[in-house]
Structure 1
């Protein structure tokens, strides 16, 4: 039976409206899904993940990865110019033919231009402000640069003045190596060492001892491993503890609070994603309240005048390894020796650079991979004879374990990730004497 015209039109109109509603509903759901994904993504990027869990462990970074001003001499660009230059590059790669036509039209309309502006239009787009385009500013090769005196902080002769010297400040593909500023950075660190001497503070500490400090540092090593913190954080935290105890008399029931707070401060200084305060309360087995931890943080910072950029031995080891061209296993062995000294109070008064140089010297002799070269002498600032006394003490520390029950460092470096360097045979003391005599 045929349907009346009016009812058919209404029926068709209803179908169209239902289809429109379905399409709009689908679009709305798709839009909400995209918005939801973006919101989740933003929330995940801003959410604090606990570093104590394997999924939330922070990633490790280069040492002078953020200390760079390598591009400070380049012409500055505004945000609009950067976006404009990026857009031009995309258009050039996709519609190069149309863009060239538009450039010709713009040239005719704008009249005569300078040579630099014509080049920027006809070739790759560059910034027009400044003395020259960015793309033309290529670094001068090392061989063509003027000779610069690369003396060490101790006033040693530069590479061009010492026989057998090697210039390690060569351009590298790794931009975070900061080879252009490495000499100035380590010279600055050597000067900072003189500003942070540590005296024999245990003489005025009546409630804590050297053994208690060793137990605390052993626990701090475990915390660094569990939270997957960088080694720089561990070394700096130990330095903060020593400098704080040098000025404040501490009770033994507050020693762990000082250690955990020092790790918290060092994590904020070194880590991209420091652990939460609740994590530090948890590792202390809830022995302290949140207010106590925050109060101790303020107390430590005020006591140290907020000057916590203290040079540590760990930063010098990689530079020494670069001078000697040794493999990662030898460098790790030097790091193992250096980390053993953290829990030994007898080494707190040693300078970070000298301690690192002595640890690296001993590692070279234990692996029998080289000697103290003129390059090492120049860039470290120490002659081999300057390190003999400290090298003997370090070898004694390796051979005779004073704290045999504190095995956090040895267990850590017995893992295959660290090449099991803790199992490396030590040198006999008499043999070391002969090795040192032959090194003169």
Structure 2
């Protein structure tokens, strides 16, 4: 219905229809004229002028600096300078009064410039005389200088993904963070479990990692969370698989780009548990660990230390095999990840006859050969034991060509190992 002239359209409550004037149409809006229509009252404020229009000043370039210099000089200059400037002003005013208005304005401007230059001179002298402020960086914030013979990150200076500027600091931080996650042999506090059950669970988690093609970091983090949860909470043997699958689910969310969903983990458990049970276990684990699941794992340290000695992929894979086998031993739960990684790498170097513990490894790991030797002996004893036919997931995995068939390599003899460790 068209709007009638002189009548306001009826607007219901809540409607947002804009008001249109008689000569305003929908489409591009036309800027209104600032002059009021004929016969309309003039605009005025209700009480006083509450705008800031009367305070607006036009600032020219350099005007603020000159005004600031004038104020500074008034505070710092001596009385003799102000008296001299006052006399100069009187003299200039008397001389300019005899000329034309244009000449008087020119002379006034010149005198004003001379006055400002004279006034600004003491300020510049004070600024030049002031010593520059030097900010000293605290000692704990200063960049650590790495000796040239131990620098393994400069070759990756152009690769931002390798973080060459912070690599040493990152692994030093992870090594310090390990102290927060030190464990002991918790199995005596688990009345329903034993070390064999834990080894069976980890052997099954290795198969899960292979079937889902997950990162190795996911497997190590899942095992770490399982150990920390068992160290704080007694678990019945019937819920042990639920615990392992849930920690793998949490680790996948933390490490993977595309983690498996809950239904995938229910499927690999052969529907032994319900969806509500795995979600409830997930919440219980996170609350027990105080949501602090960024636990340093030996796998990360192993890659770092192998880079320090420029180890080949076959040597690194052999050290990974030793490190993954160590996950099944409950006696090695109390060993810190960085120390365990150092022992696995040293055993791999000795096995392949590539030397022993070198100064560069001592610098980057912080361990001496005497610190690593006891863990190396425990690893050698574990690997020398006859393999269990029920626990063969790791050996089968590292017997593949993709992993250079390192599981089939002969282990170094104890005499040769002791000879290297005694050096």
TM-score, normalization by structure 1: 0.62
Whether 2:183 is the aligned partner of 1:198: answer yes
Aligned to 1:186: 171
Inter-CA distance 369–431: structure 2 relative to 1 (3 Å threshold): closer
CA distance in 1, matches of 2:346, 2:340: 10
Residue pairs, 1:279-298, within 5 angstroms? 279-298=264-283
- Would you say the 8 A contact 1:220–1:259 is kept in 2? yes
- Would you say the 8 A contact 2:185–2:331 is kept in 1? no
Report which structure shows greater RCO (CA 8 Å, sep ≥6): 1
Whether 2:291 is the aligned partner of 1:306: answer yes
Which of residues 176, 188, 211 is equivalent to 1:226? 211
Gaps of 5+ in 2: 1-141
Q: CA deviation at 1:336?
A: 0.5
Whether 2:420 is the aligned partner of 1:435: answer yes
Q: CA deviation at 1:149?
A: 3.6
Aligned to 2:152: 168
- The 3-state SS of whatever aligns with 1:194 is helix
Residue pairs, 1:142-157, within 5 angstroms? 149-150=144-145
Q: CA deviation at 1:223?
A: 0.1
Inter-CA distance 402–346: structure 2 relative to 1 (3 Å threshold): farther
Q: CA deviation at 1:435?
A: 2.5
- The 3-state SS of whatever aligns with 1:267 is helix
CA distance in 1, matches of 2:185, 2:346: 26
Which of residues 393, 402, 405 is equivalent to 1:420? 405
Larger Rg: 2
- Would you say the 8 A contact 2:356–2:420 is kept in 1? no
Aligned to 2:147: 159
RMSD: 1.4
Q: CA deviation at 1:356?
A: 0.1
Gaps of 5+ in 1: 1-146, 151-157
CA distance in 1, matches of 2:305, 2:199: 28
TM-score, normalization by structure 2: 0.65
- The 3-state SS of whatever aligns with 2:235 is coil
- The 3-state SS of whatever aligns with 2:181 is coil
- Would you say the 8 A contact 1:235–1:312 is kept in 2? yes
Aligned to 2:359: 374
Residue pairs, 1:233-312, within 5 angstroms? 233-312=218-297
Matched residues, number: 281
- The 3-state SS of whatever aligns with 2:335 is coil
Aligned to 2:109: none
